[in-house]
């Protein structure tokens, strides 16, 4: 299924045209849907034929469509409105749909996800847990530590971690054992806590872990999708600091610097970090790289924290130059914008997702 292939919606179906699996009444769907270019919708494929004739259920309305690509019967597809009118045109929008699902999860309950991340290491040392649960935590940390990034630069390790998060399975480390998606590992911990008969705090831990596992699953789906037509590749990865020191996301995107100037120039890429750190609070960072040139901006919420970070910038520049980057231009400013809101805005900008579409899906 290639993102960017278009198919026209022909119109609403009648009762006798609808597939037998559809139990919803016929409606004048096109008129009631009030489509807007750029709008992202989720549909369920009710039936599809070899010549592309397809029935879709979109927001409870049964629609007949002509598809240029095969669609999985019974599966869900994300569609972006490209053109409205008598015969609207849609394009497949899997990456934008995955972004909506991730944003909906994080914006609805980001605090409990952050707490679950922060509590993982503490739960692993909880003496009130039975040995069966402690053994699961020990196994998780043993496998996860082999895929963790330490305090020294290790690009091979970074590649292994990215491969793990992209493919959804653990690489074969020293400990051996099963290769599992990180979300599956966390779900096992949640299931063990839920079935342990522990008191309410233990059950709360399980609920937080389930939401955390859901976040990892949505990130895996997001990274697996191809970029929308005309957009550069974008990847989103989670991370957290040791000993409950905080958590965050980092966004990687390829960039074509020709788009703004119209002149020939080498392409580069950007990295954006969104960090919730236990000691200094919310921190975001934008880094742009082109050849060996590196420019970046740090944003913190407090002026005192900014003054503290500014003192360390010369050392940071020197370290980056030792890795071969030159020139290095990094600054630090204050910003009180919410971290989750920053993630939302950055994803929308990179993948071309209209802001109102998030509200439409969440309504």
pTM of the full predicted structure?
Answer: 0.73
The pLDDT value recorded for residue 40 is: 86
Over its C-alpha atoms, the chain yields an Rg (Å, rounded) of: 23
How high is the pLDDT of residue 4? 37
- Coil/strand/helix, residue 170: coil
| The pLDDT value given to residue 23 | 47
Q: What is the pLDDT of residue 86?
A: 73
> Beta-carbon neighbour count of residue 356 at 10 Å?
12
SS3 299: strand
CATH entry, 223-353, from 2.60.40, 1.10.287, 2.40.50, 3.30.750: 3.30.750
- Residues 62 and 13: beta-carbon distance below 8 Å: yes
Contact 98, 222 (CB under 8 A): yes
As given in the structure block, the two tokens for residue 184 are: 């599956």
Residue among 130, 135, 340, 118 nearest 239 (CA): 118
CA distances from residue 123 to 118, 126, 204, 237, 276 in whole angstroms, order as listed: 9, 5, 12, 23, 20
Positive/negative CA dihedral, 352, 228, 362, 336: negative
Q: How far is CA 112 from the centre of its chain?
A: 17
Q: What pLDDT shows up at residue 178?
A: 55
Q: Could you tell me which residues are beta bridge partners of residue 255?
A: 268
Cβ distance 191 to 183 under 8 Å?
no
- Domains of the chain, by residue range, sit at 6-92, 96-220, 223-353
- Low-confidence residues of the chain, pLDDT below 50? 1-5, 10-28, 171, 199-202, 259-264, 356-363
Q: Is 336 left (phi over 0), alpha (psi -120 to 50) or beta?
A: alpha
């Amino acid at each position: 299924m290639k993102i960017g292939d278009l198919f026209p919606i022909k119109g609403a179906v009648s009762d006798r045209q609808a597939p037998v699996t559809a139990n919803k009444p016929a409606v004048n769907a096109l008129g009631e849907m009030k489509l807007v270019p750029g709008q992202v919708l989720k549909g369920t494929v009710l039936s599809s034929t070899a010549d592309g004739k397809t029935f879709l259920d979109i927001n409870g309305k049964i629609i007949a469509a002509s598809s240029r690509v095969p669609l999985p019967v019974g599966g869900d597809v994300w569609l972006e409105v490209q053109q409205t009118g008598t015969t609207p045109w849609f394009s497949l929008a899997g990456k934008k749909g995955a972004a909506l699902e991730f944003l909906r999860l994080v914006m609805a309950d980001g605090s409990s996800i952050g707490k679950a991340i922060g509590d993982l290491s503490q739960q692993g040392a909880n003496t009130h847990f039975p040995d069966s649960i402690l053994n699961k935590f020990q196994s998780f940390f043993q496998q996860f530590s082999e895929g963790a990034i330490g305090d020294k630069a290790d690009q091979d390790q970074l590649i292994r971690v990215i491969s793990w998060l992209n493919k959804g399975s653990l690489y074969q480390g020293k400990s051996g054992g099963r290769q599992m998606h990180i979300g599956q590992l966390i779900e096992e911990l949640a299931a063990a806590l839920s079935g342990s008969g522990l008191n309410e705090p233990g059950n709360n831990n399980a609920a937080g872990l389930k939401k955390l596992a859901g976040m990892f699953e949505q990130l895996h789906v997001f990274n697996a999708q191809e970029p929308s037509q005309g957009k550069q590749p974008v990847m989103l990865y989670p991370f957290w600091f040791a000993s409950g020191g905080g958590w965050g996301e980092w966004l990687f995107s390829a960039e074509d610097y020709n788009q703004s100037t119209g002149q020939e120039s080498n392409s580069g890429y950007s990295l954006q970090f969104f960090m919730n750190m236990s000691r200094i609070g919310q921190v975001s960072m934008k880094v742009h790289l082109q050849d060996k040139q590196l420019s970046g901006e740090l944003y913190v919420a407090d002026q005192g924290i900014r003054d503290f970070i500014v003192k360390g910038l010369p050392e940071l520049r020197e370290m980056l130059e030792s890795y071969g980057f030159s020139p290095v231009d990094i600054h630090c400013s204050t910003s009180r914008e919410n971290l989750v809101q920053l993630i939302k805005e950055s994803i929308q900008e990179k993948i071309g997702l209209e802001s109102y579409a998030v509200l439409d899906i969440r309504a």
